[in-house]
Structure 1
């Protein structure tokens, strides 16, 4: 969770905990969890924070279907938070003052120190005691979730070796490493249907650039200055790629080069290219030992994910949830 959203979440909790209007019929409701209301305002503000954690903004979502799915996911997350907090209360979970203060101190330092932290709290209309209460609530919910998750993981156990071997045998070919090349390139664009003179002029320009590089100028520097591709700002860097990823003419020229070599001008549908081969990674087959270890780790992660989903599903199944926002 990003630090600049901490006070947003705090304000949501404070609003629900202390503002009586949050429970009045005048406040639109998004959901009820065992009678506890999650307001539309709380959902709207959490939705913005939920998207921010994914590097997105509400205004950037143009597809109505995608917007609805993301909003439903945000409401699911809010419902889960409320369920975990209620479960923590049922279990009588206690978070020590020392643990709370340690977490508050970490947040204080991460925000830039005591003065900045105090100012941010004051600007939001809160004090450190209120923030400590919010932190205690969050830590209690997290503790319950961790305990339930660990118990579920113990039930599912570690991946069985027969399962590991079967998965490895089925997917072994996908785990093998194909031959790949790492290249930079310089592009001089040529419009579709351009006259022969335009095509020739673009090639001549690229040949001049090639001579400049041959005289000792760094390829990446020239790419930044001269390339008309979006990769110019990265010095023409395209990274590693296997066969079948690029345009046929480009790919054939790239795979024919030796490391450190520069191609002759290569014509593709978008223009003329100079290709510089930085490195070649030969194809390699994964060994049984490597592959089985990779599969064990993968299946263990899958079991952990499944355990988390089962925990949340079990909590939801045992409680009364009314989703109004979906209606």
Structure 2
């Protein structure tokens, strides 16, 4: 076997904030709309596969069960099972406030975190993220809020979501606390972060990259192209299907493995509402994907060969 044919290394665990975390995470944005009784089954399935990094946000539930609904559902489970809080690394986000749409003023971010803690039935989160950049709030004001949240013990650490490389650097300039995580959209279909410096900066600054929509909204699992997708989407699915067939596995696992193999240490956030599919996602760690396979996926996604 040549080096190019050797399977790429995929670690199952990482260390974050002094805790061991699984390389898969579970996201709560789809919890609202489901019965509260099902929440425990989903969280337990995530913990079974080591996905102890649990991601939510204040806005999850808006337009359905209501602003904060996802946090409230998770918080109810935490209240019912106090040991759960110690079993998970808890992440939430603030700053999206419909219909504004964004408000990252110091006063608002601090109030958002405090309201999240009430809904989550805990006295702190492990990680608080600014959900999206607010063009009407300067980076110094955002840094003021994040610094206060850490100093007050309401958040152990802070990070950003949907920030560009330069936005992240600008915020860090004003912030004494390190930005320890970034949460962009990343998938085999949405590959911009491979080229725009976000993942490079995450490596150089020792930031944890958390990938939202790692299956492109489910399209990489179903094979149904996102609306308005270019004609090359079927070519991407064909490559993923080939690798899945070689491994007697599924599209989901191949698409997740593609992210897990990246040296930045990407943690994909699972969004499925099926405990069975949560458990099945652990098959991503068993995918044998070599360097040529990895680049075959990227080239099919881009619609062109690498230069």
TM-score, normalised to structure 1's length? Answer: 0.20
Higher relative contact order (CA 8 A, sep 6+): 1
TM-score (norm 2): 0.21
Pick the structure with greater CA Rg: 1
Bigger fraction of residues in helix:
1
